[in-house]
Amino acid sequence: MYSEAGIGLANADHSIAQAEINLRKLGALIPHLARQGVETSEIRDQMEAMAAILDNLRSQRWQIEGLLGQP
């Protein structure tokens, strides 16, 4: 049986992975938007910020796992 902490970590993993997938999908749309004349620099900047946030979340998730002593 999984502990509450283990379930929480698994949920965090799933959410982070889903956010990464969503960012990749958005990134794939940028060239299409640029071809249509849409200014994409702000979108790219926001995506970079979101990627940095995800990196921080991933790091915090691993720190929590280490504190809990769970694989």
Q: Could you tell me if 18 and 50 are in contact, meaning their C-beta atoms sit under 8 angstroms apart?
A: no
Nearest 5 degrees, angle CA 18-CA 54-CA 15?
Answer: 30
- Is pLDDT above 70 for 71? no
pTM of the model: 0.79
Side chain identity at residue 56, one-letter code: N
pLDDT of amino acid 70: 55
pLDDT tens digit sequence for 5-49? 888 888 999 999 999 999 999 999 999 999 999 999 999 999 999
Q: Could you tell me if 3 and 70 are in contact, meaning their C-beta atoms sit under 8 angstroms apart?
A: yes
- Is pLDDT above 80 for 60? yes
Cα separation, 24 vs 18, in Å, equals: 10
